[in-house]
Homo-oligomer: A and B are copies of this chain.
Amino acid sequence: MLSKKTKYGIKALAYIARKKDRKPVQASEISESENISQKFLESILLELRKSGFLGSKKGKGGGYYLIKEPQEIKMTAVIRVLEGPIAMVPCVSLNYYEKCDDCPDENACSVHKLMIQVRDASLNVLGENTLEDIAIPQ
């Protein structure tokens, strides 16, 4: 299951991407428009800034803006930052690999083989979709 944090983060990025001008967008505006708790959203936007997706401007007229073009932002990257691994088990994760305690041999594990297929299917979808693709005008 996708956490609310990730879901809100994606919606916020899409909201910012839909704006044609590159003026900073306030957290309060996104919060109201997308029905997200403002304080919670602030922490998410902050994280997106620290991980290089957003820039920010303080003070009156400030807000958040995209650093890269929407078509350059793959959804795999967004989800990895907000949610963590895309894989359903750590032992098939490309970016967050962990060995299973119970598994002496990954290649003999039935779950492992299945989850590699699921991971690749998900990676394929999320890698082909960019922020531009999902931020269609309403």
Contacts and interface: CB of A to CB of B under 8 A. Distances in A.
Nearest to A109: B11
**Interface size grouping (class) on chain A:** 35 or more
A58 B122 CA distance: 42
A43 interface: no
Interface on chain A toward B: helix, strand, loop, or mixed SS?
helix
Contacts of A7: 89, 111
Interface of A: 1-2, 7-8, 10-11, 14, 34-36, 75, 85, 88-89, 101-105, 108-111, 113-115, 117-118, 121-122, 124-126, 129, 134-136, 138
Given A2-B89, A8-B102, 5 more contacts: A10-B111, A11-B111, A36-B102, A110-B136, A122-B122
